[in-house]
Structure 1
């Protein structure tokens, strides 16, 4: 049986399907020409689209999904992030997710069950981590450059102060003799 595990909560139902998608957005740069030039717009977080059927007698599973989807972090007020255990998620390298978009349940005619659909969005994607590391490196390089400029500025001021002090002393000696 295919299962979806969020933290310690296992979500099961019959017909459980998890589909993962990775959006690769880009803009057309060709204008009115026949060029194939495009501008890449980065990698976006992966989305897991989950669908399953839940029998009416298993209404507690639907209630659990609703509770998980609306749970928020008490400190930040943001939706709760869950560790995920699922073959499709693992194949796409997704380790953490949060609920996004909507949770929908529709009664299925003649089968005494709901058809349930929801979307999970990857949290801290690999691309996001790489970009964050690049920004941190860039910030540290800028801070180092700023410090070097400040040090140079201090050294120049110190050198200038020494020169002016020497000239001042020399002029004082000339006037005193």
Structure 2
């Protein structure tokens, strides 16, 4: 079962595939070393595939409407996802990404449908943002500068 912002998207024989990129770069140069530089955990991607019967053309229309929806800033809409694998992987918000495919099934009167949803504001991203916020120096009042300005003001009077 899949729900986006509480709206069910029902596909027959639905299958879900998860992928996640663990980005790194080889640091060994011309040597045989195995040293790598980590470049962060990228957002998870869920690929859904299934069938939509010709009778249920509304489901196909709904799917394309959801995929092409934009927010007020004219950016692709972020959806709250309801799905077992998304829950298990702690994926809360997603955006449509990549391609949405619908092709006629060879023997059934149905469409084979597939689409991808990419995690938005991932847990790894939130941790990174918190770490950056904690490492930023705290802004303090520059009392010496204030006193120098006051002294200069008094001197000119």
User: Shared fold by TM > 0.5?
Assistant: yes
In our comparison, the structure showing a higher alpha carbon Rg is 1
Shift of 1:43: 1.0
Structure 1 segments, 4+ long, off by >3 Å, are: 152-155
The correspondence for 1:38, drawn from 28, 36, 39, is 36
> Could you say which residue in structure 2 is the equivalent of 1:125?
122
Unmatched tracts of structure 1, length 5 or more: 166-177
Q: Residue 6 of structure 2 contacts residue 82 of structure 2 at CA under 8 Å; is this kept in 1?
A: no
1:77 matched to 2:83: no
> Could you say which residue in structure 2 is the equivalent of 1:116?
113
Secondary structure, counterpart of 2:40 in structure 1: coil
State the TM-score, normalized to the length of structure 1. Answer: 0.79
Secondary structure, counterpart of 1:67 in structure 2: helix
Secondary structure, counterpart of 1:61 in structure 2: helix
> Could you say which residue in structure 1 is the equivalent of 2:143?
151
Structure 1 or 2: more helix by fraction: 1
Shift of 1:65: 0.4
Give the alignment's Cα RMSD to 1 decimal: 2.0
1:50 matched to 2:48: yes
Counterpart CA distance in 2 for 1:87 and 1:44 is 21
Shift of 1:7: 1.0
Structure 1 or 2: more strand by fraction: 2
Greater CA drift, 105-114 or 130-139: 130-139
TM alignment of 1:70-109, pairs within 5 A:
70-73=68-71, 75-109=72-106
Secondary structure, counterpart of 2:34 in structure 1: coil
Unmatched tracts of structure 2, length 5 or more: none
